[in-house]
Amino acid sequence: MIRALAGDQVRSSGAVRLLNKELVVSLLNGSIWGVVVGIVAIALYANYALGAVMTAAVVLNLVVAAVAGVMIPVGLHSTGRDPAYGSSVLLTFITDAMGFFLFLGLAAAFLQ
């Protein structure tokens, strides 16, 4: 994606198409790995609510990562900055922070 941005191959309509593709892949990947993590949580702790929270947190975290993974480089490129420099740091920060907030928020809401 960075090479496509550097070559001005991604326009606003292309960014929307790219975001849609990333969302489909993240939902599929998140659903598969979320179910795996949820089953492991249920097997270890015999708690179905915990398994559901883990599943939802994984799915939502991968969706956030997909959105950030498209929007950060496109946003940096549109402001005239090189997306290769700041994208990895910002993406890592957002996915890590949102992972904690999603898991802890879902756990606080559903595991009382």
What does the alpha-carbon distance between residue 75 and residue 58 come to, in Å, rounded to a whole number? 25
What domains, with CATH codes, occur in the chain? 9-110 (1.10.357.20)
Question: Residue 83: what pLDDT?
Answer: 82
Which has more pLDDT, 13 or 78?
78
**For residue range 17-45, what is the model confidence (pLDDT) as tens digits?**
889 999 999 999 999 999 999 999 999 99
Contact between 87 and 65 under an 8 Å Cβ cutoff? The reply is no
What does the alpha-carbon distance between residue 98 and residue 91 come to, in Å, rounded to a whole number? 10
Contact between 88 and 47 under an 8 Å Cβ cutoff? The reply is no
Q: What is the pTM of this model?
A: 0.85
DSSP codes, 22-36: HHHHHHHHHHHHHHH
